Amino acid sequence: MKFLCVDCDTRMEFAERAVPGDGTFAAAFCCPACGRTIALLANPMETRLVEALGVQIGGRTLDEQPLELVRSTLVGRDDAFVEADPAGEPARGSVQWSGEALDRLARVPNFVRGMVKRMYADYARERSIATITPEVMDRARSDLGLEGM
């Protein structure tokens, strides 16, 4: 899929994506010549169709996570997945990431993402927080001085 700025006859570049609510998916594209920005808004059904393919509009910024589609779409047990210990067995005190939290993590620059992920996970583990959500990330940023991550 390509977006063309008709006035400039120039291919627009992907700028950002967002999930503003009610299942809507938004992706912004910008013309590098004139700076014009447009937004693609997909309704919930279109959004689900794209998700079902396991692909992302605008390309991937974060490598596909294990069972990403299943974990984000299957109505399953809350405790179905836990972090592995070094032997690949379920670890004690493991933490999970909500889909929204993973989306936010994907926006962290690649070269520090692993470190940031570990810091959030350690923060949650030390406080016996089972699932990292955007709210937990906000608290951690405030408590740990991670503003900007």
Partner 1 sequence: MKFRTYHEVTGSDASAIGPQVGRQLQRIEERLARVGLLVGVMSGKGGVGKTYVTAALALALGERGLRVGVLDADLAAPTVARVLGGSGPVAVDEEGVHPATGRAGVRVFSTDLLLEEDAPLRWHEPDSARFVWRGTLEAGALREFLSDVVWGDLDLLLIDLPPGTDRLQDIAELAPGVAGVVAVTIPSEESRRAVGRAMRAAREAGLNLLGVVENMSDYACPGCGARTSLFPGDAGNTLAAEFGVPLIARIPFTPTGCPSLPVGDLARLTGLLHPGAP
Output the smallest distance, CB 147 to partner 1, in A.
Answer: 26
Q: Is 21 an interacting residue with respect to partner 1 (CB under 8 A)?
A: no
Q: Segment near partner 1 (CB under 8 A), from 82-90, 101-109, 120-128, 129-137?
A: 82-90
Q: Which secondary-structure segment (H or E) carries 77?
A: none
- Beta bridge partners, 132, equal 97
- Beta bridge partners, 41, equal 26
d(CA 119, CA 135) in angstroms, rounded, equals 15
> Which residue in 79, 122, 138, 143 binds partner 1 (CB under 8 A)?
79
Candidates 26, 34, 29; CA nearest to 8 is 34
Output the smallest distance, CB 43 to partner 1, in A.
Answer: 9
d(CA 119, CA 102) in angstroms, rounded, equals 14
Q: Segment near partner 1 (CB under 8 A), from 85-93, 104-112, 124-132, 139-147?
A: 85-93
Amino acid residing at 86:
P
Give residues in contact with partner 1 (CB under 8 A): 1-2, 4, 6, 11, 13-14, 23, 29, 44-45, 48-49, 52-60, 64, 66-70, 72-77, 79-85, 88-91, 94
